[in-house]
């Protein structure tokens, strides 16, 4: 399946079971930057929610959702993300959910050689 580039745009990322350098997550409405690739540029965003948690065998660890100020492309579930406040690393976690717009995919026509 192929589709338009905007179908890959992500408006928010949810991190499950993040690890925070201070031991506590950023507060909702806190402005942060988030880095989605090791050598990618940090993207501006805002913490909009501390999630309900991610169930593990050991415990429930609260997650966090970051609303991006501009769409990000090429974000994959399972990839790591690091959250910053200026030059200070707050922590990070594994991306377990993203938003994607409802853009219908286009299926390329396959030439069959028949009318």
> What's the confidence (pLDDT) of residue 54?
41
pTM of the predicted protein model: 0.75
Both tokens of 20, joined, read 């925070």
Q: Which residue stretches of the chain have pLDDT < 70?
A: 1-3, 51-61, 101-115
Distances (CA, A) of 33 to 51, 59, 92, 108, 109: 18, 28, 11, 38, 41
Q: Give the burial string for 61-84 (b: 16+ CB within 10 Å, else e).
A: bbbbbbebeebbeebeeeeebbbb
Distances (CA, A) of 49 to 16, 37, 103, 111: 12, 22, 26, 48
């Amino acid at each position: 399946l192929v589709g338009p580039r905007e179908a890959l745009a992500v408006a928010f990322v949810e991190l499950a079971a993040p690890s925070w350098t201070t031991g506590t997550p950023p507060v909702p409405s806190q402005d942060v930057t988030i880095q989605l690739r090791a050598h990618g540029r940090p993207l501006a965003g805002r913490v909009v929610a501390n999630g309900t948690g991610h169930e593990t065998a050991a415990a429930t660890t609260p997650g966090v959702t970051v609303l991006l100020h501009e769409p990000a492309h090429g974000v994959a579930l399972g990839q790591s993300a690091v959250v910053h406040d200026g030059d200070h690393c707050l922590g990070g976690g594994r991306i377990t959910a993203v938003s994607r717009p409802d853009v219908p995919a286009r299926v390329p026509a396959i030439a069959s050689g028949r009318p």
